[in-house]
Amino acid sequence: MNAIDSYFQQVLSYGRNMKVILEAPLHDKDCVLGNILAAHYLSSCDPSKVNLYVKSASSKLERSTPYEKAVFETVTYLISEDKDDDLAFEMHIELLKRFPKDLVYLKRAQVLSFQMAKPVPFLNLVQQVLPENQDESYIHGMLAFPLLELGRMEEAAAASRKGYGINKEDALAHHCVSCFKQVDISFSILGFSFSCKDLTLCTHNWWHVALCYLEGGSPMSKVKEIYDNHIWKELEKEDAIPPEVYLNALGLFLRLDVRDVLDGFKDRLELLAARLTDQVSHALLDLLIVWALAKVGETSMAHELLEGLKFRLSKMNKKKQQVMQKAIQLVEAVYEYAKGNYKQALCLLGSDFNAIDYKIDVFNEVWCQLLLKTGQSSTAKEVIRKRIKVREGSPFTWRLLEKSYAMEGDAEALNAGQRAKMLESSYF
């Protein structure tokens, strides 16, 4: 049980030692739970060994506990090929109805809901099991996550702070705080810089700190320092997970590009792009790889990857095709955006684009820039005004508004520019 308990702790804390679960079958080869959890772990890092552990678990299923049977059924479906995500989520709901204190499978449900861009069902699920887990570590960070996705910032902040109060090493609680405390730089850095070194989410939290500096109008030297020392340097660690590092790095570079300050990071982008040659079965990372390759001039490679994604789409069932079709269209748009084909990129995004469908706000910023770069300042102005209502403290958003006014010869450009300058000076 020690290996299983350690594994559960690693899952909940975004730990780096999830392979500890492989010790469970070594200590007890007949343990259903140890074998099926090992199969789950291996499904993402060594799929060829999965069936061996599933068979071991299945052979002892008749003598297992109700909990082991429920986990076996849920996991075997979760790791099956061409699974229906909605059904997988429903199976997690049923498991948690019977075992509401199983936060590991609440965590699995969170991952599923995020992948499906469906925060409401997960919020309902967290609230369902919350009465049984009020004083537990990690539950409040998981509660904050869907609240954040739904824009319920005050509630998300309260949940995150409660989780952080229970457990200072709750990386997800701190992640949520980092998301909405866009300019509270000291909190973002001091809150986890000394306690998250053993967590896989640490690099992502540092990514949020970099965004805080970028959003606040900091000198780019500070953003470079964070990137070099806390994102890229992660690859030097033996237990680094390269795709996660690439995802954070590319997400930062795209935001730098949208803000027209990517030139100072050109050498870093080229170094990263040299490593990006394959599809990785992660929709957002694949999208960012296409953008990066096109941005550094590797358009043939980017186009080949794009066509590969389309082929992969054609092999999905109809339900998944419907979900992923819009994502492929977004990949095509960022491909054209990276090449400087702004009109074509805007045409692909459409006139009523909303990045809420993709959970990533930077694509709204890309859309605003495309409107401005194609001379549609009037439309851009209205879009940016709406954004300011929820991002009033963002200097960059005010700079976009300033640009839209200036393109129309509107004297309000001066006021927008002064507002941006005032915010920048107040942060740094």
Going by pLDDT thresholds of 50, 70 and 90, the confidence category of residue 216 is: confident
* Tokens found for residue 160: 């995150």
DSSP codes of every residue in 82-119: T--HHHHHHHHHHHHHH-TT-HHHHHHHHHHHHHHT-H
Inter-CA distances, 116 with 122, 126, 283, 311, 354, Å: 11, 16, 11, 21, 16
Residue 184 has pLDDT above 60, yes or no: no
- For residues 408 and 82, the model is more confident at 408
Going by pLDDT thresholds of 50, 70 and 90, the confidence category of residue 188 is: very low
Inter-CA distances, 89 with 54, 179, 192, Å: 20, 25, 31
**For 361-387, how does the pLDDT look when each residue is reduced to its tens digit (9 = 90+)?**
889 999 999 999 999 999 999 999 998
Inter-CA distances, 232 with 24, 61, 275, Å: 33, 44, 12
161 exposure class (CB count in 10 Å sphere: 0-12, 13-18, 19+):
middle
Domain ranges of the chain: 181-240, 241-366, 375-428
What is d(CA 358, CA 275) in angstroms, rounded to the nearest whole number? 25
pLDDT of residue 323: 76
Going by pLDDT thresholds of 50, 70 and 90, the confidence category of residue 185 is: very low
**For 192-212, how does the pLDDT look when each residue is reduced to its tens digit (9 = 90+)?**
444 555 566 778 888 988 988
pLDDT of residue 192: 45
Residue with tokens 């186009």: 303
Residue 45 near residue 59, CB atoms below 8 Å: no
82 exposure class (CB count in 10 Å sphere: 0-12, 13-18, 19+):
exposed
What is d(CA 298, CA 277) in angstroms, rounded to the nearest whole number? 10
* Tokens found for residue 192: 């986890």
pLDDT of residue 410: 94
Residue 177 near residue 187, CB atoms below 8 Å: yes
pLDDT of residue 198: 56
**Averaged over 243-251, what is the pLDDT?**
93
- Report the interhelical angle of 318-339 vs 283-295 (nearest 10°): 20
Residue with tokens 């300019």: 183
Residue 333 has pLDDT above 80, yes or no: yes
DSSP codes of every residue in 259-304: TT-GGGGHHHHHHHHTT--S--S-HHHHHHHHHHHHHTT-HHHHHH
- pTM for this entry: 0.85
What is d(CA 197, CA 336) in angstroms, rounded to the nearest whole number? 38
- Architecture per CATH, domain 375-428, reads as Alpha Horseshoe (1.25)
**Averaged over 122-150, what is the pLDDT?**
93
Residue 339 near residue 330, CB atoms below 8 Å: no
